[in-house]
Structure 1
Amino acid sequence: MRYRRAGLAKVLACTAVLAAAATACGSGESGKSADGKVELTIATFNQFGYEELFKEYEAANPNVKLTERKTGQASPHHQNLFTKLGAGSGLADIEAVEEGFLSQVMAKSGQFEDLKELGPKDVREDRWLQWKTDAVTTKDGKLIGYGTDIGPLAMCYRKDLFEAAGLPSDPEGVKPLFATWDSYFEAGDRYVAASGGKAWFDSAAQIFNPMHNQAEVGYFDRDDKLVIETNDDKKIFEQVAGAVARKQSAKLAAWSPEWETGFKQSAFATKTCPSWMLGVIEGNAGPEHKGKWAVTAAFPGGGGNWGGSFLTVPKQGKNKAEAAKLAAWLTAPEQQIKAFKAKGTFPSQTEALISPELLNQTNEYFGGEKVGMLFSEQANKVSAAQYKGPKDGEIQDNVVSPALLAVEQGTSVGDAWKTVVEGAQKAAK
């Protein structure tokens, strides 16, 4: 999924519009349409790959009418979700939740159905990777969401730019460059020197975030105590800032028009690459760069996960059992593979991850690479989902990323880090 979080101002501006849309799109008081069909509304964001699946479900269940309420970005979707939770009405029958906002939802888990009780009895927890299920299980054992996709991390890079700089360019040959973060930044220094000062990566935040996400906990410990001053984040921040000082960053804020254009202009040579990023690269780089981009089953520090979502059933819904049935169907192995083919959302289902249909899936834009097998291998390197506190996503988007951008624009590392600590403390209150 393309995880593009809006800035805070944009989130607040969208909230009123979303609230109005929620009222307009919701089911009637009875949860039935005028012709007697069960109406189910599902609220998603970005791309889940569900459009054709909805048609398939309605064809197999003629008594059901589905309406998708899709938001372009994750932040306004979740702002609407939390607003409606507070109001006690207006939510869709199924609400998608992105992993960066999951901790806030888990804090309100009593407002969501326990899918162990409500969902189809043949849906077992081992349907998903263990860490995916663990992330959405409450401390008292309730399962409040079905896992959709995950974002196992690999590394994407420009073969032609590597060759021009005298670096190995085949997927096996580049693996030592991406073995550790030290080796990654060392290769970046070699590339910058050999290329006459061209950038190694797109932006500091796009490097810091996956490095941070490899830790057991995020900005908060499991007691939701802010730990940004005692964990490794300062060390990581300074390491990334050092690479910026050595001209490795293209200084392009992710998801900005300049960042999108940067792919087409060959503005950087490597990209941290969750599975869903392949489609982003292809869309931004364009057909003229087909075959120039490659992806390898390696990631500094051994791997990780970036992104992924869940389908939840709020207790507000009028057709909760039917909603749970639909959510279970959408997250079944067969449908997860179809969604992956449609939009690149990588399955979290254990059966899907060993399916020949997935493992044999190739990507011609990336030189015919067997991306299904590659990302399945990367997914199995993830042992646990990072614990994220209630304001984890807010700190990442509105505190750390802007501070790193400030470093790229000339702010001293010391001043930027001071801003991070103060901003995190304020957000945590």
Structure 2
Amino acid sequence: MFRTLRSGLLLLALTLVLGTGISSLAATKITVWGWKAAMDVVRQVLPDFLAAYPDIEVEIVEISPADVYQNLPIALSAGVGAPDVSLIENSHLSQFVDLGGLLDITDRVQPYMEVMNDYKWADARDAAGRIYALPWDSGPVVTYYRRDIFEAAGLPSDPEAVNELISTWEQFYAVCQAIVAQTGHMCLPLNKANANNDYRLLEMILWQRGLGYIDPATGAVTIDSPEAIATLEFVGRFWENNLVSDEQAWTEGWYNGFAATDQSAVATFTEASWMGVFLKTWIAPGTSGLWGVARMPAWEEGGVRAANDGGSAFAITNQGPNPDAAWTFIEFLLARNESQLKMFAYSDFLPSLETTYSDPLFYEADPFFGGQPARLVYAQVVQQIPVAGIYTPEYNEMNATVSAEVQAFAAGQKTAAQALQDAAQRIRDLTGRP
């Protein structure tokens, strides 16, 4: 009887608390900015949110990433014109945190600090350690490979065997040499003139070692470190020895390298989990069953085989009149297993919320990847991604500066050391960093 009475009192108390919370959000409207592909995913959960919080109206404003990054800084600086909530890619998030104008949600996120991918918090923090965004999705890097091309080269094609075969970047390089020699297929696309995009390979190899443009602990520029120079020299070997195709990224020729079943097909591509979605939905759906997913190679044997590329988070601006409603919205979307899994099932955008990873959805065989449970690979990799000095507040400037120097290196105009030393000095001049 005591248990029944106590349960009744607890239920009454919870009803009063929840009722008070919902009534405080009565007749509230929030505006959310984000690009169409992402907002289509959010709409999968929106009816659930509106059913739980009928007094909160959500207006979704579809706006391209470029327009977000042009208009949001203006609105935040002006103190007017910003939405209640905005989606921001992690590559740009530090810029907005540094600019100011986002709501400090440090206290609100405390229950979720241990259940989100740890590295994702780095981009959301300011110098004082305060947090301004809640992670949505992550971009764990893996190596996609064509099973048929590996077999034609006399190599194993089973994912576990390929994991062993390319356990380091030097071993990956040797595999590329064998593939080109035995089949004539290029090993991967790596365009010299479009280094602004293909340069991501250099970023990813640095990220897996906790390196980058800067030292994440001190903020000092480190893109000219011996480790970074050695990494660029390694990447250059793929160009020097004609192991890569020279198609510009995100062009028809580049897409064809993934979609082809003839001699123009490439054998591998190291990129984030979102690339798997692109391959099977619109770049190369006709190659279903021909692909496998392996962990990216480590820089040295036993090293980390995980890096990040991309990902996003939701931030609340400090201009909205209803920050509690805005928080309720992003918390419902991003911090609930049910919401994240529904969005993941629709989009394959990997949740940053680690409590979702035990769901059966991650163990489902994926026909596109030859029956391999690719989502499980992503979930295993993402939990090993280190913090690195890549997504800084000046990321755009740093990336553009280094990309120009990588192009000079690729064209044979500079050595790797000259290119990165020149880039580092330019970055120091631009940012005032040591």
TM range (shorter): 0.7 to 0.9
Q: Secondary structure at the match of 2:37?
A: coil
1:188 and 2:173 aligned: no
1:374 and 2:362 aligned: no
Instruction: From 321, 334, 337, give the equivalent of 2:338.
Output: 334
Instruction: Give, in whole Å, the separation in 1 of the partners of 2:119 and 2:156.
Output: 35
Letter in 2 for 1:104: Q
User: What residue is the counterpart of 2:277 in the other structure?
Assistant: 279
Once the two structures are overlaid, the 10-residue window that deviates more, 128-137 or 417-426, is 417-426
The Cα offsets for residues 91-143 of structure 1, whole Å up to 9 and x where unpaired, read as 1111222221222223235x2222244x488x432231333234423443422
Once the two structures are overlaid, the 10-residue window that deviates more, 344-353 or 401-410, is 401-410
Q: 1:141 to 1:399 in 2, by over 3 A?
A: closer
The Cα offsets for residues 308-334 of structure 1, whole Å up to 9 and x where unpaired, read as 221111111122110011011110222
Map of 1:25-424 to 2, 5 A cutoff?
A: 37-45=27-35, 47-48=37-38, 49-73=41-65, 75-109=66-100, 111-117=101-107, 119=108, 123-196=111-184, 198-203=185-190, 204-221=198-215, 222-230=217-225, 232-265=227-260, 266-301=264-299, 302-332=305-335, 333-354=337-358, 356-384=359-387, 386=389, 388-396=391-399, 398-405=400-407, 411=413, 413=415, 417=420, 420-421=423-424, 424=427
Task: With the length of structure 2 as denominator, give the TM-score of the two structures.
Answer: 0.80
CA contact (8 A) 2:134 2:313 kept: yes
Instruction: Give, in whole Å, the separation in 1 of the partners of 2:255 and 2:59.
Output: 31
Q: Secondary structure at the match of 2:75?
A: helix
Q: 1:422 to 1:403 in 2, by over 3 A?
A: same
Letter in 2 for 1:283: T
The Cα offsets for residues 12-44 of structure 1, whole Å up to 9 and x where unpaired, read as xxxxxxxxxxxxxxxxxxxxxxxx942211122
Letter in 2 for 1:248: L
Q: CA deviation at 1:390?
A: 2.2
CA contact (8 A) 2:279 2:285 kept: no
Q: 1:346 to 1:120 in 2, by over 3 A?
A: closer
Q: Secondary structure at the match of 2:159?
A: coil
Instruction: Give, in whole Å, the separation in 2 of the partners of 1:186 and 1:71.
Output: 44
CA contact (8 A) 1:218 1:389 kept: no
Instruction: Give, in whole Å, the separation in 2 of the partners of 1:267 and 1:76.
Output: 35
Once the two structures are overlaid, the 10-residue window that deviates more, 60-69 or 161-170, is 60-69
Instruction: Give, in whole Å, the separation in 1 of the partners of 2:265 and 2:378.
Output: 26
Instruction: Please list every run of 5 or more consecutive structure 2 residues that lacks an aligned counterpart in the other structure.
Output: 1-25, 191-197, 300-304
CA contact (8 A) 1:41 1:92 kept: yes
Once the two structures are overlaid, the 10-residue window that deviates more, 39-48 or 140-149, is 39-48
Bigger-Rg structure (1/2):
2
Instruction: Give, in whole Å, the separation in 2 of the partners of 1:297 and 1:227.
Output: 26
Q: CA deviation at 1:344?
A: 1.4
Once the two structures are overlaid, the 10-residue window that deviates more, 221-230 or 408-417, is 408-417
Instruction: Give, in whole Å, the separation in 1 of the partners of 2:81 and 2:339.
Output: 28
CA contact (8 A) 1:251 1:405 kept: no
CA contact (8 A) 1:165 1:191 kept: yes
Letter in 1 for 2:395: D
CA contact (8 A) 2:98 2:126 kept: no
Letter in 2 for 1:112: L
CA contact (8 A) 1:127 1:349 kept: yes
Q: Secondary structure at the match of 1:67?
A: strand
Once the two structures are overlaid, the 10-residue window that deviates more, 362-371 or 320-329, is 362-371
Q: CA deviation at 1:295?
A: 1.0
**How many matched pairs?**
387
Instruction: Give, in whole Å, the separation in 1 of the partners of 2:228 and 2:153.
Output: 31
The Cα offsets for residues 57-94 of structure 1, whole Å up to 9 and x where unpaired, read as 22333222222233444x44223222222222211111
The Cα offsets for residues 331-386 of structure 1, whole Å up to 9 and x where unpaired, read as 022212222111111111121122x2333233221122212321111122224354
CA contact (8 A) 1:216 1:387 kept: no
CA contact (8 A) 1:216 1:385 kept: yes
Q: 1:337 to 1:170 in 2, by over 3 A?
A: same
Q: Percent identity?
A: 25
Task: With the length of structure 1 as denominator, give the TM-score of the two structures.
Answer: 0.81
Q: CA deviation at 1:269?
A: 1.0
Instruction: Give, in whole Å, the separation in 2 of the partners of 1:420 and 1:140.
Output: 28
CA contact (8 A) 1:42 1:93 kept: yes
Q: CA deviation at 1:182?
A: 1.1
User: What residue is the counterpart of 1:3 in the other structure?
Assistant: none
Instruction: Please list every run of 5 or more consecutive structure 1 residues that lacks an aligned counterpart in the other structure.
Output: 1-35
